[in-house]
Structure 1
Protein backbone atom coordinates (compact mmCIF):
# COMPACT_ATOMS: atom_id res chain seq x y z
CA UNK A 1 0.00 0.00 0.00
CA UNK A 2 1.42 3.34 -1.06
CA UNK A 3 1.44 6.28 1.33
CA UNK A 4 -0.65 9.24 0.22
CA UNK A 5 1.43 12.38 -0.20
CA UNK A 6 0.48 15.41 1.85
CA UNK A 7 -0.91 18.55 0.29
CA UNK A 8 0.83 21.57 1.80
CA UNK A 9 -0.43 25.10 2.25
CA UNK A 10 1.79 27.97 3.41
CA UNK A 11 -0.24 30.84 4.85
CA UNK A 12 0.20 34.00 6.84
CA UNK A 13 -1.84 34.35 10.01
CA UNK A 14 -4.22 36.82 8.38
CA UNK A 15 -4.88 34.39 5.53
CA UNK A 16 -5.78 31.45 7.76
CA UNK A 17 -9.47 30.65 7.79
CA UNK A 18 -11.21 30.26 11.13
CA UNK A 19 -11.37 26.48 10.56
CA UNK A 20 -7.66 26.28 9.62
CA UNK A 21 -6.72 28.19 12.77
CA UNK A 22 -8.92 25.97 14.92
CA UNK A 23 -7.57 22.68 13.53
CA UNK A 24 -3.98 23.98 13.72
CA UNK A 25 -4.35 24.86 17.41
CA UNK A 26 -6.19 21.60 18.05
CA UNK A 27 -3.35 19.54 16.51
CA UNK A 28 -0.69 21.42 18.47
CA UNK A 29 -2.59 20.89 21.74
CA UNK A 30 -3.21 17.20 20.90
CA UNK A 31 0.52 16.53 20.59
CA UNK A 32 2.37 19.10 22.69
CA UNK A 33 -0.03 19.36 25.63
CA UNK A 34 -1.93 16.05 25.79
CA UNK A 35 0.41 13.45 24.21
CA UNK A 36 3.59 14.91 25.70
CA UNK A 37 1.83 15.67 28.99
CA UNK A 38 3.31 19.17 29.05
CA UNK A 39 1.31 22.05 30.46
CA UNK A 40 2.55 25.20 28.73
CA UNK A 41 1.21 28.29 26.99
CA UNK A 42 1.00 27.20 23.34
CA UNK A 43 -0.85 30.33 22.27
CA UNK A 44 2.13 32.60 22.85
CA UNK A 45 1.35 35.74 20.85
CA UNK A 46 3.74 34.78 18.03
CA UNK A 47 1.36 33.14 15.56
CA UNK A 48 0.47 36.47 14.01
CA UNK A 49 4.08 37.10 12.88
CA UNK A 50 4.69 33.55 11.64
CA UNK A 51 4.02 31.79 8.38
CA UNK A 52 2.10 28.57 8.89
CA UNK A 53 2.86 25.36 6.98
CA UNK A 54 -0.15 23.07 7.03
CA UNK A 55 0.04 19.49 5.74
CA UNK A 56 -3.20 17.80 4.73
CA UNK A 57 -3.89 14.13 4.07
CA UNK A 58 -7.03 14.29 2.02
CA UNK A 59 -8.94 16.96 4.00
CA UNK A 60 -7.46 16.27 7.44
CA UNK A 61 -4.68 18.38 8.94
CA UNK A 62 -2.00 15.89 10.02
CA UNK A 63 1.22 17.96 9.97
CA UNK A 64 2.14 21.52 10.85
CA UNK A 65 4.99 23.96 11.47
CA UNK A 66 5.30 27.68 11.87
CA UNK A 67 8.22 29.63 10.47
CA UNK A 68 9.70 33.00 11.35
CA UNK A 69 11.90 35.45 9.46
CA UNK A 70 15.38 36.25 10.77
CA UNK A 71 15.57 38.47 13.87
CA UNK A 72 12.01 37.84 15.06
CA UNK A 73 12.38 34.67 17.11
CA UNK A 74 16.11 33.94 16.76
CA UNK A 75 18.93 35.76 14.96
CA UNK A 76 18.32 33.41 12.02
CA UNK A 77 15.11 32.32 10.33
CA UNK A 78 13.47 29.56 12.33
CA UNK A 79 11.04 26.68 12.21
CA UNK A 80 9.03 25.69 15.25
CA UNK A 81 5.96 23.84 16.53
CA UNK A 82 6.93 20.89 14.30
CA UNK A 83 4.11 18.39 14.70
CA UNK A 84 2.75 15.29 12.97
CA UNK A 85 -0.34 13.52 14.31
CA UNK A 86 0.76 10.34 16.13
CA UNK A 87 -1.28 8.03 13.88
CA UNK A 88 0.48 9.43 10.78
CA UNK A 89 4.13 9.31 11.92
CA UNK A 90 4.65 5.83 10.47
CA UNK A 91 4.51 7.43 6.99
CA UNK A 92 7.59 9.63 7.65
CA UNK A 93 5.54 12.77 6.99
CA UNK A 94 7.89 14.64 9.33
CA UNK A 95 10.53 14.66 6.58
CA UNK A 96 8.06 15.97 3.99
CA UNK A 97 6.87 18.61 6.44
CA UNK A 98 10.38 19.80 7.26
CA UNK A 99 11.48 19.83 3.61
CA UNK A 100 8.45 21.96 2.73
CA UNK A 101 9.14 24.25 5.71
CA UNK A 102 12.82 24.65 4.75
CA UNK A 103 11.75 25.42 1.18
CA UNK A 104 9.26 28.02 2.48
CA UNK A 105 11.97 29.68 4.60
CA UNK A 106 14.39 29.81 1.66
CA UNK A 107 11.76 31.13 -0.76
CA UNK A 108 10.04 33.60 1.56
CA UNK A 109 13.00 34.95 3.53
CA UNK A 110 15.78 34.43 0.96
CA UNK A 111 18.06 32.64 3.43
CA UNK A 112 19.41 29.14 3.86
CA UNK A 113 20.43 29.56 7.51
CA UNK A 114 17.75 28.22 9.83
CA UNK A 115 17.78 27.72 13.60
CA UNK A 116 15.51 25.40 15.53
CA UNK A 117 14.98 24.51 19.17
CA UNK A 118 14.75 20.72 18.87
CA UNK A 119 13.53 18.20 21.38
CA UNK A 120 16.71 16.30 22.17
CA UNK A 121 15.31 12.86 21.32
CA UNK A 122 14.78 14.09 17.73
CA UNK A 123 18.43 15.11 17.09
CA UNK A 124 19.07 12.34 14.54
CA UNK A 125 15.86 13.22 12.65
CA UNK A 126 17.06 16.82 12.31
CA UNK A 127 20.65 15.71 11.57
CA UNK A 128 19.23 13.79 8.58
CA UNK A 129 17.80 17.10 7.33
CA UNK A 130 21.16 18.90 7.62
CA UNK A 131 20.79 20.49 11.06
CA UNK A 132 23.78 20.44 13.44
CA UNK A 133 23.71 20.88 17.21
CA UNK A 134 24.94 24.18 18.65
CA UNK A 135 25.57 24.90 22.31
CA UNK A 136 24.49 22.91 25.32
CA UNK A 137 21.18 21.22 25.91
CA UNK A 138 18.52 22.98 27.99
CA UNK A 139 15.04 22.46 29.36
CA UNK A 140 12.15 24.15 27.59
CA UNK A 141 8.79 23.66 29.27
CA UNK A 142 10.32 20.76 31.20
CA UNK A 143 11.42 18.88 28.05
CA UNK A 144 15.12 18.49 27.06
CA UNK A 145 15.97 20.57 23.96
CA UNK A 146 19.04 21.51 21.95
CA UNK A 147 19.66 24.39 19.56
CA UNK A 148 20.36 23.28 15.99
CA UNK A 149 21.34 25.21 12.85
CA UNK A 150 21.15 24.36 9.15
CA UNK A 151 23.32 26.54 6.92
CA UNK A 152 22.62 25.34 3.36
Structure 2
Protein backbone atom coordinates (compact mmCIF):
# COMPACT_ATOMS: atom_id res chain seq x y z
CA UNK A 1 0.00 0.00 0.00
CA UNK A 2 1.21 3.46 -0.83
CA UNK A 3 1.48 6.08 1.88
CA UNK A 4 0.18 9.61 1.33
CA UNK A 5 2.51 12.00 3.20
CA UNK A 6 1.47 15.28 4.80
CA UNK A 7 3.63 17.93 6.48
CA UNK A 8 2.01 20.99 7.99
CA UNK A 9 2.59 23.76 10.48
CA UNK A 10 0.17 23.71 13.41
CA UNK A 11 -1.81 26.64 12.00
CA UNK A 12 -2.34 24.72 8.74
CA UNK A 13 -3.88 21.63 10.36
CA UNK A 14 -7.58 21.13 9.92
CA UNK A 15 -9.54 20.36 13.07
CA UNK A 16 -10.09 16.83 11.78
CA UNK A 17 -6.36 16.29 11.15
CA UNK A 18 -5.50 17.60 14.61
CA UNK A 19 -8.12 15.37 16.20
CA UNK A 20 -6.83 12.25 14.39
CA UNK A 21 -3.20 13.08 15.30
CA UNK A 22 -4.01 13.60 18.97
CA UNK A 23 -6.20 10.50 19.01
CA UNK A 24 -3.32 8.34 17.73
CA UNK A 25 -0.82 9.89 20.14
CA UNK A 26 -3.10 9.42 23.15
CA UNK A 27 -4.06 5.88 22.11
CA UNK A 28 -0.40 4.85 21.99
CA UNK A 29 1.45 6.98 24.53
CA UNK A 30 -1.24 7.21 27.21
CA UNK A 31 -3.47 4.16 26.77
CA UNK A 32 -1.24 1.46 25.25
CA UNK A 33 1.91 2.40 27.16
CA UNK A 34 -0.01 3.30 30.33
CA UNK A 35 1.93 6.54 30.58
CA UNK A 36 -0.09 9.29 32.19
CA UNK A 37 1.79 12.42 31.22
CA UNK A 38 0.86 15.84 29.80
CA UNK A 39 0.37 14.94 26.13
CA UNK A 40 -0.83 18.47 25.43
CA UNK A 41 2.35 20.35 26.35
CA UNK A 42 2.00 23.60 24.36
CA UNK A 43 4.87 22.63 22.02
CA UNK A 44 2.54 21.61 19.18
CA UNK A 45 1.81 25.26 18.35
CA UNK A 46 5.49 25.83 17.45
CA UNK A 47 6.13 22.54 15.65
CA UNK A 48 5.46 21.15 12.25
CA UNK A 49 3.64 17.86 11.98
CA UNK A 50 4.55 15.02 9.65
CA UNK A 51 2.36 12.02 9.03
CA UNK A 52 1.37 9.47 6.44
CA UNK A 53 -2.07 8.12 5.67
CA UNK A 54 -3.54 5.19 3.86
CA UNK A 55 -7.09 6.03 2.95
CA UNK A 56 -8.23 8.20 5.82
CA UNK A 57 -6.19 6.49 8.56
CA UNK A 58 -2.97 7.89 10.04
CA UNK A 59 -0.27 5.24 9.78
CA UNK A 60 2.77 7.06 11.23
CA UNK A 61 3.30 10.46 12.82
CA UNK A 62 6.14 12.65 14.12
CA UNK A 63 6.38 16.14 15.55
CA UNK A 64 9.28 18.28 14.29
CA UNK A 65 10.36 20.52 17.14
CA UNK A 66 12.36 23.72 16.55
CA UNK A 67 15.56 24.39 18.52
CA UNK A 68 15.21 25.47 22.16
CA UNK A 69 11.78 23.93 22.80
CA UNK A 70 12.88 20.45 23.87
CA UNK A 71 16.66 20.69 23.43
CA UNK A 72 19.14 23.30 22.17
CA UNK A 73 19.08 21.45 18.83
CA UNK A 74 16.05 20.78 16.66
CA UNK A 75 14.27 17.61 17.69
CA UNK A 76 11.93 14.95 16.39
CA UNK A 77 9.37 13.72 18.86
CA UNK A 78 6.09 11.91 19.40
CA UNK A 79 7.22 9.35 16.81
CA UNK A 80 4.45 6.79 16.57
CA UNK A 81 3.22 3.98 14.34
CA UNK A 82 -0.41 2.94 14.26
CA UNK A 83 -0.53 -0.56 15.85
CA UNK A 84 -2.49 -1.94 12.88
CA UNK A 85 0.45 -1.16 10.58
CA UNK A 86 3.49 -2.11 12.68
CA UNK A 87 6.08 -4.36 11.11
CA UNK A 88 5.85 -2.76 7.67
CA UNK A 89 8.89 -0.45 8.06
CA UNK A 90 6.70 2.64 7.85
CA UNK A 91 8.43 4.00 10.97
CA UNK A 92 11.76 3.87 9.14
CA UNK A 93 10.33 5.94 6.28
CA UNK A 94 8.89 8.40 8.81
CA UNK A 95 12.22 8.97 10.58
CA UNK A 96 14.06 9.37 7.26
CA UNK A 97 11.53 12.00 6.10
CA UNK A 98 11.62 13.76 9.49
CA UNK A 99 15.42 14.03 9.35
CA UNK A 100 15.31 15.35 5.78
CA UNK A 101 12.67 17.96 6.65
CA UNK A 102 14.61 19.03 9.76
CA UNK A 103 17.74 19.56 7.65
CA UNK A 104 15.75 21.50 5.04
CA UNK A 105 14.39 23.87 7.70
CA UNK A 106 17.43 24.20 10.01
CA UNK A 107 20.42 23.26 7.85
CA UNK A 108 22.77 20.34 8.35
CA UNK A 109 22.63 20.58 12.14
CA UNK A 110 22.65 18.13 15.00
CA UNK A 111 19.24 16.67 15.88
CA UNK A 112 18.45 15.50 19.40
CA UNK A 113 15.75 13.07 20.49
CA UNK A 114 14.54 11.56 23.72
CA UNK A 115 14.17 7.90 22.78
CA UNK A 116 12.59 5.04 24.62
CA UNK A 117 15.60 2.93 25.58
CA UNK A 118 14.43 -0.19 23.76
CA UNK A 119 14.56 1.79 20.48
CA UNK A 120 18.28 2.66 20.78
CA UNK A 121 19.29 0.27 17.99
CA UNK A 122 16.47 1.49 15.71
CA UNK A 123 17.52 5.15 16.03
CA UNK A 124 21.18 4.14 15.82
CA UNK A 125 20.50 3.00 12.24
CA UNK A 126 19.90 6.66 11.36
CA UNK A 127 23.13 7.85 12.99
CA UNK A 128 21.74 8.79 16.41
CA UNK A 129 24.16 8.19 19.28
CA UNK A 130 23.34 7.87 22.97
CA UNK A 131 24.43 10.96 24.93
CA UNK A 132 22.82 10.40 28.33
CA UNK A 133 22.40 7.77 30.96
CA UNK A 134 19.06 6.03 31.01
CA UNK A 135 16.36 7.95 32.87
CA UNK A 136 12.68 7.46 33.57
CA UNK A 137 10.28 9.75 31.75
CA UNK A 138 6.91 9.26 33.42
CA UNK A 139 7.94 5.72 34.31
CA UNK A 140 9.26 4.68 30.88
CA UNK A 141 13.03 4.19 30.40
CA UNK A 142 14.48 6.76 27.99
CA UNK A 143 17.85 7.93 26.73
CA UNK A 144 18.83 11.13 24.97
CA UNK A 145 20.35 10.62 21.54
CA UNK A 146 21.97 13.02 19.07
CA UNK A 147 22.51 12.68 15.34
CA UNK A 148 25.66 14.81 14.89
Same fold (TM over 0.5): yes
CA-atom RMSD in angstroms: 1.0
Cross-structure match for 1:133: 130
Cα distance in 1, alignment partners of residues 2 and 92 from structure 2: 12
Cross-structure match for 1:22: 19
Are 1:68 and 2:65 matched, yes or no?
Answer: yes
Residues 71-123 of structure 1: CA distance to partner in whole angstroms, max 9, x if unpaired?
22211110000000111111011100101111110111223310000000111
Instruction: Kindly indicate whether the alpha-carbon contact (under 8 Å) linking 1:62 and 1:88 is maintained by their aligned counterparts in 2.
Output: yes
Any stretches of 5+ residues in structure 1 without a counterpart?
A: none
Cα distance in 1, alignment partners of residues 108 and 74 from structure 2: 8
Are 1:50 and 2:41 matched, yes or no?
Answer: no
Count of aligned pairs between the two proteins: 148
Instruction: Kindly indicate whether the alpha-carbon contact (under 8 Å) linking 2:53 and 2:60 is maintained by their aligned counterparts in 1.
Output: yes
1:142 deviation in Å? Answer: 0.7
Residues 16-62 of structure 1: CA distance to partner in whole angstroms, max 9, x if unpaired?
00000000000001100111111111011110001101111232111
Cα distance in 1, alignment partners of residues 102 and 11 from structure 2: 18
Cross-structure match for 2:120: 123
Instruction: Kindly indicate whether the alpha-carbon contact (under 8 Å) linking 1:10 and 1:104 is maintained by their aligned counterparts in 2.
Output: no
Any stretches of 5+ residues in structure 2 without a counterpart?
A: none
